[in-house]
Chains A and B, each alone.
Chain A
Amino acid sequence: MAIRIEITPTVEDARARMRKRQIEGMGFDGKIQGVQLVDVYTVDAPLKKDELARVGSMLADNLTESASVGTPQAPEKFDWAIEVGFHPGVTDNVATTAREGLEDLLQTKLPSDKGVYSSQVTFLQGDLSQADAEKIASTMANPLIQRTAIKSFDVFRRDHGMGVVVPQVRLGLEPSIDTIDLLHADDAALTLIGKKGIANADGSRRGPLALDLIYMKTIQAHFQKLGRNSTDAELETIAQTWSEHCKHTIFADPLDDITEGLFKRYIRGATEQIRRTKGTKDFCVSVFKDNSGAIAFDDQRLVTDKVETHNSPSALDPFGGAITGIVGVNRDTIGFGLGARPVINRYAFCFADPNDIDPIYKGEGLTQQMLPPRRIMDGVIQGVNVGGNCSGIPTHPGALFFDPRYKGKPLVFVGTVGIIPRETAGRLSHEKQARPGDYIVMIGGRVGKDGIHGATFSSEAMDAGSPATAVQIGDPITQKKLSDALIDEARDLELYTSLTDNGAGGLSCSVAEMAKESGGCHVDLEKVPVKYHGLAPWEIWISESQERMTLSVPPENWGRLQELLQRRGVEATVIGEFTNSGKCVVDYKGTTVIDLEMEFLHNGLPQRPMQSTYKRVVHEEPNLPDLEELTQTFHQMLGRLNIASFAFIAQQYDHEVQGGSVIKPLQGRGRVNGDATVTRPVLDSQKGVVVSQAMNPSYSDIDTYHMAASAIDTAIRNAVAVGADLEHLALLDNFCWCSPEDPERLGQLKEAARACHDYAIAFGTPWISGKDSMHNDFKGFDKDGKPVKISVPPTLLVSSLGVMDNAQNAVSLDAKIEGDLIYVLGQTYQELGGSEYYAMIGEQERGKGYVGHAVPQVDAHRNKTLYTALTDCIKEGLVASAQSVHRGGLAVALAKTAIGGKLGMEIDLEQLPSQVSRDDFALFSESQGRLVVTVAPEYKTRFEQRMQGNAFAAIGKVTGDDVFRIRGITGKTIIDANLKTMEHAYTETFRGY
């Protein structure tokens, strides 16, 4: 008999106060008199009364909370009670901790079908209708993962509380192994299976396989050759392995005349050429073949990096999607080589305007409403907060970009930098080799239904049929235990020969991937630990339940590894053996459910040659009024979503854990968001790791080649500004595209990829890792029920990873000292196409941003010369501050420098190296290759000597007061501002977030 243990605060509760404020913000201002929260643990276990009392006492802070067993707690006065708990099978981290504590306290082990479940009751006092209560409840829970119960005061009294709910997973009887009739299926049947999935007995479908007809026919032909039908597990495995998410077919298959595909020609091709050119100075060590890319850090160590996206899950459950994303990409570090230690998390988010409240729907007839942009934004930010903070990994520079076209799917980029010794116990740490006879060992979490079809789901546009089981919630503590045990202990004991992450596709991908190293595998699926009984074999095999790694373990080491992991509270199970049979064989309770040739599984997918077109849309340059006074415009720019301070994110992410912080995400007196950070990941070394990122999705509306070039140049420039050296700087690409079936979109992609090739080579900065997400489309209905398709603007996030010899040379963005000279480096052109300025003026004038035509173009050779000169100046200590000029142009870069230092500026643009005809263009053009730096007067001569040959000019001085004044290209004062109003404009946009 389950019982509720309820924990009630007896002192003022800050969480309740925040909840009240949130509810008031939803239009209930003045209507809420009181909010009280009660934490509930529903214990479904045969415990005695005194045992339950002890558990209650253990769960409460007995000074500030009271625990009650079985007796409903409620404030004396309330009008509504809203309880939120998880659906069956959803990861419930609080409950897991409570269960562990209970078992530890009572020195007992609960049976696997017994457990603890957490929920929370919010008691509201106020003049609220049932509809009001329902509206409030809907913002507190996500129906995909959570249940809500709402009771009025009277009903609560009548029912004696909220009632006991045990969200235990109860599945049907022993699942069967189905065979799919592929041998006789016609094209229509094959198409249906590929799109909607395998049919269940009741006619329903199991969810998308994302296999198109060409693939289905290839599979059919393969089984015809074998003379048998496919099992469900086989078809699901092939679907996972061949998914766009795993195989990246759009980058791999022939496109137009590029027979080797975009990746080989443009991305890997660039890296190969750079490495050849660099010769002995090549710093790449492991690129494009492991879970992360790795470059040299010092003689002893490598530094790794990987950036992932988790877009589709974040659209459905922003918190779960984002936490799963960040904790998942940590495993790309842990799973690099023999295991790297995560040392920095990074993020970039693309959202729609959080003030947009017009609903959109997945289903017809105004059904399946999508979460509004603000909730997506809040949830994603919170997900990375919990994932990063709990894991003890500093979360560093971020980037935000807002555009209405991220309303259907947000983009959630999450990355992790790692450190690994070059050698462990005499082995090269970046190499691994599962050997025939090694045990296949799964460690970490257990397998449930969560995340099923995640890989195939993200390989499709989101629509009404998108599966809810693809949503899951990360569990950072389970992973932390696993990570510590592997990286701090097992790795250096040489207990395993290879490892990889269980991510997309679950075991089906990780085991099959590692089986390539040995030449085959044999798995007994019934050995896989499951969260609950009743999972079908195919589900166990492809489930994406989180916090798991797969290891290959020589049998003679298994005992030691098992014992070590057990002592660290990490579950580890032998589930099979690597072989050299050339086959992937999977049994379930003695019946073979998969018997596939490795060759077919990995290389059997046919190429799908694609054709592209690219007709660049020409947007007229807008005809804007030429204002003489730009102070107000300048302030409006500072408050734009794409420019304003997001200090509220940086300060809720622990960026100092691990003790290596040098240049922090918030810099200077004014705590301005920096574009790059510097970290010393090895505490007894002064070597620094520089990370930065950049994206310019709005430029895609004009030309994706220049969009990509700008993103590359900006990412590099951002890194150089803090002290990175082009000689030791690598790049990562993350393409988030849309509608890949559209030749135009492919044409845009091809041009962006070509820019990646050209500019990486020109800068000598190799690509070391990347990921693409091609289906960022939403197909649904607008607020009037009319069909809409919302596709993200083609987005390329470029991340940089650099190593600097002495982190003490790093430079922050804030102006330092009164009297310092302000320089602009680089040439300003009339390049406002896709700019924030055009977007803003368009929105003001016609309710929709202007695009324009003159998109910024990058002269890499010229910029490289400039950046190299700047790096020399930074190494010599000549530069007091440096800020890259990007979104919002020169005016914004100057403002950030001034706000950062809380120092005024007197600027004169008459000497600005530029080819602009107007003051507003000089201020807000987004020409690339530019920086604002401040220099002490005594270094003037040396600095200017070093910069000789580059476009640069001293344009003003740092002043000691709070006046910020800019005279324009003809000498007239165009901005007359003060720091207070500027800071207000810069920080006001996200106040209260």
Chain B
Amino acid sequence: MTTPKALVLTGYGINCSRETQFAFTQAGAEADVVHINDLIEGRRRLEDYQILTFPGGFSFGDDTGSGNGLANRIRNNIWDQVAEFVEKDHLVLGVCNGFQALVRLGILPAINKNYGTQQVSLLHNEGARYLDRWVDLKCSQKSPWLKGIDRISLPIAHGEGKLYALPEVVQQMQHRDLVAARYVPGTMCTYQHLPANPNGSLDDIAALTDESGRILGMMPHPERAIAFTHLPNWSLIKEILKRKAGVEEIPQEGLGLQVFKNGVNYFK
């Protein structure tokens, strides 16, 4: 059994590094938060890690398009090492703004393993405004990140999450099972009476993977759903559980942690 090392990127307005690092640590990985400039200057090396994470946030303020500033910084400086990393037997996770950057970099969906060419876009939400709420997802089993997770509820918080692609690209993604998760009506939508698709995303797409399945990009935030008390309805569930005979303790973990555990288990 090996403990994988996860590199959690930070800098320039990447905001979710600390909680992402915490999630990896909870899941059993060794996780370092690394500033992108330290990778560029060679102070830290990608080759020392098995997992690369692009956390959520507002890199470069979303100016010139969400994820674009970060993608440019990577493309202009460390594209070769990133490209080398993603083609090896490593895992890559991009959440929210990190997903946006992966899409801009063409690391996802990379149909025909064409890493580096942008094939889809994440546009302004249908409501043209930033939105924080919970969504329900139905996951495919292609990516090891989502192994054993059929349905999961997670929070989103973004202004640009509406996936767009040309029809032939959509078809290819469907054909090759690259749609890793879709927004579906589920417990949270029922609980708070919300539409399933929060942003008008094409084909209800919430997450993409590449053909290897090792790379996952998702708009929802699994690292914000690793504790029971992260759930919007935890206090209701707690009341229900308390009144059931034989239930002594309330749960501690949230389902989002499984994503990180899956990442760790891939290397076991």
Residues on A facing B (Cβ under 8 Å):
11, 13-15, 17-18, 58-64, 93-94, 96-98, 100-101, 104-105, 107, 385, 389-392, 475-477, 480-481, 484, 488, 567-569, 650-664, 666-671, 680, 683-684, 807-808, 810-812, 814, 816-817, 877, 880, 902, 936, 938
Q: State whether A481 touches B12 (Cβ < 8 A).
A: yes
| Residue from the set A654, A667, A807 with the largest chain B CB neighbour count within 10 Å | A654
In the complex the two chains form, what is the Cα distance from A812 to B62 in whole Å? 34
Interface residues on B, range: 35 or more
Which B residues from 77 to 119 make CB contacts under 8 A with A? 77, 104, 118-119
State the B residues within 8 Å of A (CB): 10-13, 15-16, 18-19, 22-23, 33, 35, 37-38, 41, 56-58, 60-65, 68-69, 72-73, 76-77, 104, 118-121, 123-133, 155, 157, 162, 164-166, 191-193, 200, 221, 223-224, 226-230, 232-233, 235-236, 238-240, 242-243, 250
13 A-B pairs, CB-CB below 8 angstroms? A63-B118, A94-B64, A101-B64, A389-B157, A390-B13, A390-B58, A390-B62, A477-B63, A480-B13, A481-B12, A488-B33, A567-B41, A658-B15
Question: What is the CA–CA distance of A58 and B76 in the complex, to the nearest angstrom?
Answer: 10
B72 in contact with A651 (CB, 8 Å): no
Q: Is the CB of A659 within 8 A of B22?
A: yes
Quick one: which of A60, A61, A652 contacts B132, CB cutoff 8 A?
Answer: A652
> What residues of chain A lie closer than 8 Å to B16, measured between beta carbons?
392, 657-659
Cα of A392 to Cα of B121 in the assembled complex, Å: 23
**Shortest CB–CB separation between residue B243 and chain A, in angstroms?**
6
Inter-chain contacts of A484 with B (CB < 8 A): 10-11
**In whole angstroms, how far apart are the Cα atoms of A529 and B123 in the complex?**
37
Structural contact, B224 and A812, CB atoms closer than 8 A: no
Q: Are A64 and B123 in contact (CB under 8 A)?
A: yes
Closest to B37 in A: A567
Q: Cβ of B63 and Cβ of A658 under 8 Å apart?
A: no
Which 7 residue pairs spanning A and B have beta carbons closest together? A392-B15, A659-B19, A97-B63, A18-B128, A14-B124, A390-B58, A94-B63
Would you call A661 and B230 a contact (CB within 8 A)? yes
B221 touches A656 (CB 8 A): yes
The reply to whether B19 and A658 contact each other, CB–CB distance below 8 Å, is: yes
Contact indicator B37/A392 (Cβ below 8 Å): no
A817 touches B58 (CB 8 A): no
The tally of CB-CB contacts under 8 A between chains A and B is 201
Query: Which of B119, B162, B236, B238 has most A Cβ within 10 Å?
Result: B236
Considering the complex, give the chain A residue whose CB is closest to the CB of B130. A652
Closest to A475 in B: B61
CB neighbours (8 Å) of B56 from chain A are: 657
Least CB distance from A866 to B in Å reads 22
Contact of B131 among A13, A651, A669, A810 (CB under 8 A): A651
Whether the Cβ atoms of A477 and B60 lie closer than 8 Å is yes
- A936 contacts B239, CB within 8 Å? yes
Contacts of B157 in A (CB 8 A): 389, 654, 656-657
Closest chain A CB from B231 CB (angstroms): 10
Chain B residue with the shortest CB-CB distance to A60:
B65
What is the CA–CA distance of A877 and B57 in the complex, to the nearest angstrom? 36
15 additional A-B residue pairs with CB within 8 Å, beyond A104-B72, A658-B15, A667-B232: A14-B127, A58-B68, A61-B104, A61-B118, A101-B69, A105-B72, A389-B58, A475-B61, A567-B38, A569-B37, A657-B19, A659-B19, A659-B23, A810-B229, A817-B243
For the complex, give the distance between the alpha carbons of A49 and B185 in Å.
51
On whether A680 and B118 interact (CB within 8 A), knowing A484-B11, A814-B236, the answer reads no
Q: Are B121 and A97 in contact (CB under 8 A)?
A: no
Taking the closest CB of chain A, its distance from the CB of B216, in whole angstroms, is: 19
Q: How many Å from the CB of B18 to the closest CB on chain A?
A: 7
Quick check: A817 and B239 within 8 Å, CB to CB? Answer: yes
Note all chain A residues with C-beta closer than 8 A to B127: 14, 18
Tell me, rounded to whole Å, the shortest Cβ–Cβ distance linking A269 to chain B.
39
Complex contacts, A481 vs chain B, CB 8 Å: 11-13
Bound CA–CA A64/B65 (angstroms): 11
Q: Is the CB of A61 within 8 A of B125?
A: no
Residue in contact with B58 in the complex, picked from A59, A392, A655, CB distance below 8 Å: A392
Question: In whole angstroms, how far apart are the Cα atoms of A568 and B37 in the complex?
Answer: 7
Knowing A659-B223, A662-B229, A808-B229 are in contact, say whether A568-B11 is a contact too (CB < 8 A): yes
Other-chain contact of A390, B61, B65, B155, B250 (Cβ < 8 Å): B61
The distance in angstroms between the C-alpha atoms of A105 and B74, with both chains bound, is 10
CB neighbours (8 Å) of B191 from chain A are 669
Q: Which residues of A contact B23 (CB under 8 A)?
A: 659
Identify the closest chain A residue to B190 (Cβ). A669
Interchain nearest-CB distance for A143 vs B (Å):
23
Shortest A433–chain B CB gap in Å is 29
CB distance from B20 to the nearest CB of A (A): 8
* Known A104-B73, A477-B13, A477-B58: A97·B64 in contact at CB below 8 Å: yes
- Chain B nearest CB from A875 CB (Å) reads 14
A11 lies within 8 A of B226 (CB): no
Known: A93-B63, A569-B37. A14 touches B58 (CB 8 A): no
Give complex CA distance A668, B12 in Å: 35
Q: How far is the CB of A719 from chain B (nearest CB, A)?
A: 16
Identify the interface centre among B15, B63, B233, B238: most chain A CB within 10 Å of its CB.
Answer: B63
Task: Let me know if B236 and A816 touch, CB within 8 A.
Answer: yes
Complex-state Cα separation, A660 to B243, whole angstroms:
27
Write out the residue numbers on chain B whose beta carbons fall within 8 Å of the beta carbon of A651: 131-133
Closest B residue, CB atoms, query A101: B72
CB distance from A935 to the nearest CB of B (A): 11
Interchain CB contact under 8 A, A64 and B121: yes
Within the assembled complex, what's the spacing in Å between the Cα atoms of A830 and B12? 56
Q: Known contacts A97-B61, A568-B35; is A669 also within 8 Å of B192 by CB? A: yes
Contact present for A877 and B242 (CB under 8 Å)? yes
Q: Does the CB pair B239–A477 fall under 8 Å?
A: no
Q: Nearest Cβ distance between residue B29 and chain A, in whole angstroms?
A: 15
A658 and B18 contacting across the interface, CB-CB below 8 Å? yes
Report how far A84 CA is from B236 CA in the complex, Å: 49
Cα distance A61–B124 when bound, in Å? Answer: 12
CA distance A512 to B18 in the complex (A): 35
Decide if B132 touches A653 in the complex (CB within 8 Å): yes
Report chain B residues within 8 Å CB of A652.
129-132
List chain B residues, Cβ under 8 A from A668: 236
A93 pairs with B130, CB closer than 8 A: no
Most buried by B among A671, A811, A814: A671
Q: Do A816 and B124 have beta carbons less than 8 Å apart? A: no
* Chain B neighbourhood of A655, CB < 8 A: 132
A651 to B127, CA, bound (A): 12
Measured between alpha carbons, how far is A938 from B244 in the docked complex, in Å? 12
Please indicate the chain A residues that have their CB under 8 angstroms from the CB of B228 in the complex.
808
* Residue numbers in A under 8 Å from B236 (CB-CB): 668, 812, 814, 816
Closest to A938 in B: B243
Residue contact A656 to B224, C-beta cutoff 8 Å: yes
A14 near B128 with CB under 8 A, answer: yes
Q: Is the CB of B200 within 8 A of A14?
A: yes
Q: Contacts A661-B224, A671-B192 known; A936 to B131 CB distance under 8 Å? A: no
Q: Would A567 and B239 count as touching, CB distance under 8 A?
A: no
**Complex: A735 Cα to B54 Cα, angstroms:** 43
Give chain B residues whose Cβ lies under 8 Å from the Cβ of A93. Answer: 61, 63
A384–B217 Cα gap in the complex (Å)? 28
Which chain A residues lie closer than 8 Å to B73 at the CB level? 101, 104
In the bound assembly, the distance between CA atoms of A816 and B241 in angstroms comes to 12
Contact among B18, B69, B126 with A100 in the assembled complex (CB-CB below 8 Å):
B69
User: Do B63 and A14 have beta carbons less than 8 Å apart?
Assistant: no
Q: Which residues of B contact A669 (CB under 8 A)?
A: 191-193, 233
